[in-house]
Structure 1
Amino acid sequence: MTTTNRVMLVDGMALLFRAFYATAMSNYYMINSKGIPTNGVYGMMKHLFTAIETYQPTHVICCWDMGSKTFRNDLFPDYKANRGAPPEELIPQFDLAKEVVESLGIPNVGQAGYEADDCMGTLSREYSEHSQVFLLTGDQDLLQLLKPNVHVVLLKKGYGNYAEYHEESFTEEKGITPQQMIDLKALMGDTSDNYPGVKGIGEKTALKLLLKYETIEGILENIEELTKGQRSKIQENLDMLHLSRKLAAIHCKADVNCSLEEALFYINDEKMRAKFDELEFKNWEKNIVRM
């Protein structure tokens, strides 16, 4: 199906965090005359405009986490409990980033109780029916959303470096389908999101089992064929396996919507200039937007 719409869904948190830490490592926070640090927002804009220049979307939407607690914490209180509080120089930049995105005429989307991933999943399902969708993120979890018309663009080090995935390239590289990624994470767990999966089963074993049995159900139906060690690990951690799968799956039915009319990418130069100047962004015409 050929479509003229190219919709870019942006993982706001991923861009902001990446940009913040890239300069925070050297204590460069770009504090303006009002005492507000702007390094994360400045770098986020650079990531955003570089990607827009590369992928030429017709529509852009920015998705956000809304608070640190989600339905996943209700299922598993230790979900992401390993993450410390954000640095104090980053905290004022959360709202600032949304303000700047708004000044560009780009809708900010999020729902309390859900992560940005869930919002991106929900919207990508809707738009991919009639448009080409690009998910801009640093988070490999979004690879499970790949399908015809949905591409994942993973940020790599620096600006303008991406690993772009579509359904076929993912399966060629990983050997499994995007959908199987959920079961892969359920088996091996996820240290960054702080859930264990099946203790003692790593990526190598999990991949081997999925290549042979396709799904967790397939593995459980053929559990007698597994080695004694694999069998006992899975049986001892069965509840956690099922719970981990719920935690790993992106929830594509969040209560978010945004019409394509709202998301049409058109920048009011005057509004953008006023916002960038208000924040005292230096050399932005050269570094962020090629005017």
Structure 2
Amino acid sequence: MLVDGMALLFRAFFATAVTGQYMVNSKGIPTNAIHGFVKHFFTAIEHFKPSHVAVCWDMVSTTFRTEMYPSYKANRSDAPVELIPQFDLVKEVVESFNVPNIGISGFEADDCIGTIAKQMQGEANVTILTGDQDILQLLDDHISVALLKKGYGNYMLYTPVNFQEEKGITPQQMIDLKGLMGDTSDNYPGVRGIGEKTALKLLQTHQDIEGILTNLSLLTKGQRAKIEADLEMLHLSRRLAEIKCDVPVSCLLEESFLDINPNLAIQKFEELEFKRFHHYVEKKEELTLF
């Protein structure tokens, strides 16, 4: 199981921050995001029962995508002050579980996840735990995606089959879909005036962006005009949408075998003043023997 660490951490933070419940400990450190992260983490382990686990992180805000397009994710506000001290602490918690923390400057967690997942072909089946639908482009015969839904333990598990049944396109075509329609959360526009419904229809008919451009004469006058007006942004948006699966990162299976030392984990829980989490790691035999 490859975990999108930031997806879990941010989800956990905002679930309680909205009501001001930051769970500040006796040292004055907020711990609400870490608390929720741990709960999400072990709930997923109990649900999917992976034999190997690694957590991937975004390292810095500047990546090769912001170099290509400075406005990439520029619409996002700075992290809340209560969350900032939890970024490093949560990695210490993961380390106390003897689970690898993985991240590389200049790339996003998605790129690390994609690279490692593809490296596992022929070695292991991979489940990616995230809340980000962008990762669905990685689906293949050995990669599935568990999208977090509201609450704990609720997932939408995607495979290439049910993804194609739902969207009418292949996972790989999702890159072209985002190139056409853009992504408001990541702040790149795609082709102005082309929404998801139109983009899906174009891809179902012409397979990919290259096929669409080759057959511009078959499009409606309005579709053709929109694409021709935003041709440069179309190609840029596609490059921004594509998860890189060849970044300089790796994680060997033996490095990620799930083998939690309860004493180390409990020591970290007590340091953070988490009083009700001992049971997660005391079930060591259940977590490691599959």
Shorter-chain TM-score bucket reads over 0.9
Q: Please point out which of 124, 128, 151 is paired with 1:158.
A: 151
Aligned-partner residue type, residue 49 of structure 1 = F
**Shift of residue 128, structure 1, vs aligned partner:** 2.7
Return 5+ residue gaps in structure 1 as ranges: 1-7
Whole-Å separation in 2 of the counterparts to 1:29 and 1:128: 41
Q: Please point out which of 103, 107, 111 is paired with 1:114.
A: 107
Q: Please point out which of 88, 93, 96 is paired with 2:86.
A: 93
Q: Per the alignment, in what secondary structure is the counterpart of residue 12 of structure 2?
A: helix
Report 1:125-140 matches (<5 A): 125-140=118-133
Q: What do the CA deviations read for 1:239-265 (whole angstroms, capped 9, x no partner)?
A: 000000000000001111111111000
**Aligned Cα root-mean-square deviation (Å):** 0.9
**Shift of residue 129, structure 1, vs aligned partner:** 2.3
1:101–1:279 Cα change, 3 Å: same
Q: What do the CA deviations read for 1:118-153 (whole angstroms, capped 9, x no partner)?
A: 000000001132211000000000000000010000
Number of residue pairs matched? 283
Q: Please point out which of 277, 284, 289 is paired with 1:284.
A: 277
In the other structure, the counterpart of 1:28 is 21
In the other structure, the counterpart of 1:61 is 54
In the other structure, the counterpart of 1:42 is 35
Whether 2:211 is the aligned partner of 1:211: answer no
Percent identity between the aligned chains?
Answer: 63
In the other structure, the counterpart of 2:287 is none
Whole-Å separation in 2 of the counterparts to 1:129 and 1:157: 33
Q: Per the alignment, in what secondary structure is the counterpart of residue 53 of structure 2?
A: strand
Whole-Å separation in 2 of the counterparts to 1:290 and 1:16: 23
Whole-Å separation in 1 of the counterparts to 2:56 and 2:112: 7
Whole-Å separation in 1 of the counterparts to 2:30 and 2:117: 33
TM-score (norm 2): 0.96
Contact 2:269 2:277 in 1 (8 A): yes
Q: What do the CA deviations read for 1:34-56 (whole angstroms, capped 9, x no partner)?
A: 00000000100000000000011
Whether 2:210 is the aligned partner of 1:195: answer no
Whether 2:257 is the aligned partner of 1:264: answer yes
Q: Per the alignment, in what secondary structure is the counterpart of residue 141 of structure 1?
A: helix
Whole-Å separation in 1 of the counterparts to 2:203 and 2:131: 25
Q: What do the CA deviations read for 1:139-174 (whole angstroms, capped 9, x no partner)?
A: 000000000010000000000000000111110111
Report 1:76-87 matches (<5 A): 76-87=69-80
TM-score (norm 1): 0.96
Q: Per the alignment, in what secondary structure is the counterpart of residue 2 of structure 2?
A: strand
**Shift of residue 290, structure 1, vs aligned partner:** 6.7
Whether 2:6 is the aligned partner of 1:13: answer yes
